[in-house]
A and B are shown apart, each in its own frame.
Chain A
Amino acid sequence: MTAQMWVFVAYFCVVFAIGWYSLRATRGEKDYWIAGGELGWFTGGATMAATHTSAGTFVGTIGIMYTAGWSFGWVLLSIPLSYWFMVAVLAPRFTRQKELTIPAFIEKRYYGKGIRGLAAGIILVATVVYIQAQIVAGGLIANTVFGVPTSVGMVGFTAILLIYTVVGGMVAVVYTDAFQLVVMGLGALFAVPLALRQVDGLDGLLVLAESASPLVFTFDAVPEVLLLTMALSFFLGGIATPEKLIRLYAMKDMRTIRRGVLFAIIMILAINLLVFVLALAAIVLFPTLPTGDLAMPMVASAVLPATLGAVMLAAITAAMMSTVDSLLIVAGSALSVDIYQNLIDPDVSPERRKWVDRLGIVIVGSMPVALLVSGIGEGELVQFIVLLFTALMAAAFVLPVVGGILWRRATQEGAAAAMVGGVAATFAWEVVGTPDIEPVLCGFLVSGLLFVGVSLVTTPPPQAAIAPYFDDLD
């Protein structure tokens, strides 16, 4: 056993211990899917920040900054603004009636089981494919630390994730997220001073980065329209992705949500800014990498001593696992609650429901590995969905969710058209549009036009559907 392996074994032991503890705290479906709806600001905020921070933050973001320069960092500002919008505009009405899943909200507001199935289907496909991308990162880490083939690593990580998520549900996800957020913070906190020591401190870093890459501190390296549409993508993706919205149901009340989101914003900003500084260090220390995605692995292996390198790899693993476990809950509930119990077998007994719930997570958790091992996961369509996950979620759900609680005239047909049209337009832009404008802009605009247009020409919603969200205004 190397020191690296010990770091990882200790880390997995803590995660399993939390999962075991959560099993005893889970008494019913409400505990299993939304942690009982009673989370405080610390656990609620920590699980938001940990879910938000994925393997992409530590590998993809640093890679983009390595190639594009610091101006990309300004896109980060859209994240706190999107959380603020979510708390100030969306949450007060959205949380009046707690549901167990986001498609359940869609059914309540848009008075139909079919549209609930449509929402669950979009969530299921997009989420399973996105999990796959995160699992690939896990396979690479397992290969680095334990020397096993990447396919073994992918199966191993899937098994670890499934064990604690299936056993403990949302309670296990929330408490392991809090622990994994600490691991992420430690990894970033330890790495930055060590990287700075190699480049004569922060002042030295700024001078050296500018001489290594003259455009690094200018707004000329990336087209402004690309920065703005990237910011729009982060903003829209922040307010209506199901794994974020479900956490509004999981937290106790509005007062808790306001504090929890502030805590989440602080943690997300801190982790991202630390990672950004590491990107500058990579520009100075490794100026000629073939792709930006190698910047973080190079920092972890060449800048940090072995044990701290393992902590950094554990931080990337924690970012990956804390995102995937939340996606497993969202996709698992879409399959077992919104599709099976809602459309296929509504009369399922409570005892069997318990098993259906858990089986749903096992199925959606096994699909990404099955896709990868069978080779389907290498296909072009799959790669598209991974790239477009946030854009697809934003195009499909921002208008039905935000529009649904702000505009009482929104109808079932309008929401369905917005979901289908938004997804189709996002794909279409990726195929035929200019790469300087993110596809989310096209998807969002088409989704908006359909949402308003179709709602206006169809029958207004029944009073019972809009009453819960608009009652105090009448």
Chain B
Amino acid sequence: MNGPGFVFWGLFVACGVILVAYLVWMRWEERR
């Protein structure tokens, strides 16, 4: 769990995951 592989790059990946999830939610919300 320590070291730049997870701690540094993981934050960028997590930001990307949240943005994609928001986009998916937005499309779902507007199709209902």
Interface of A toward B, CB cutoff 8 Å: 70-71, 73-74, 76-77, 80-81, 84, 88, 206, 210, 217-220, 255, 258-259, 262, 265-266, 269, 273
Contact = CB atoms under 8 A, between A and B. Distances in A.
15 contacts: A70-B8, A76-B15, A80-B18, A206-B4, A206-B8, A210-B4, A217-B2, A218-B3, A218-B7, A219-B2, A262-B19, A262-B22, A265-B18, A266-B19, A273-B12
Given A77-B15, A77-B18, A80-B19, A258 B8 contact: no
* 3 nearest CB pairs, A to B: A218-B2, A217-B7, A217-B4
Given A76-B11, A273-B12, A219 B18 contact: no
Contact of A73 (B11, B18, B26, B29): B11
A80 B15 contact: yes
B11 A84 contact: no
Given A217-B3, A218-B7, A219-B2, A262 B18 contact: no
Nearest to B7: A217
Interface of B: 1-4, 7-8, 11-12, 14-15, 18-19, 22-23, 25-26, 29-30
Contacts of B3: 217-218
A474 to B, nearest CB: 21
Contacts of A210: 4
A260 to B, nearest CB: 11
Contact of A84 (B1, B22, B30): B22
Determine the main DSSP class of B at the interface with A. Answer: helix
A269 B8 contact: no
A468 B4 CA distance: 51
A77 B13 CA distance: 11
Nearest to A92: B29
A464 to B, nearest CB: 30
Given A77-B11, A77-B14, A273-B15, 4 more contacts: A88-B25, A218-B3, A218-B7, A258-B29
B15 to A, nearest CB: 5
Contacts of B19: 80, 262, 265-266, 269
B17 to A, nearest CB: 10
Contacts of B7: 70-71, 217-219
Nearest to B27: A258
Contacts of A77: 11, 14-15, 18
A265 B12 CA distance: 14
Contact of A219 (B1, B14, B23, B30): B1
A70 B12 CA distance: 12
Contacts of A273: 11-12, 15
B18 A258 contact: no
Nearest to B17: A77
B2 A265 contact: no
Contacts of A217: 2-4, 7-8
B11 A258 contact: no
A71 to B, nearest CB: 6
A314 to B, nearest CB: 26
Nearest to A69: B7
A12 to B, nearest CB: 34
A259 B26 CA distance: 8
Contacts of A262: 19, 22-23, 26
A269 B18 CA distance: 11
Nearest to B12: A273
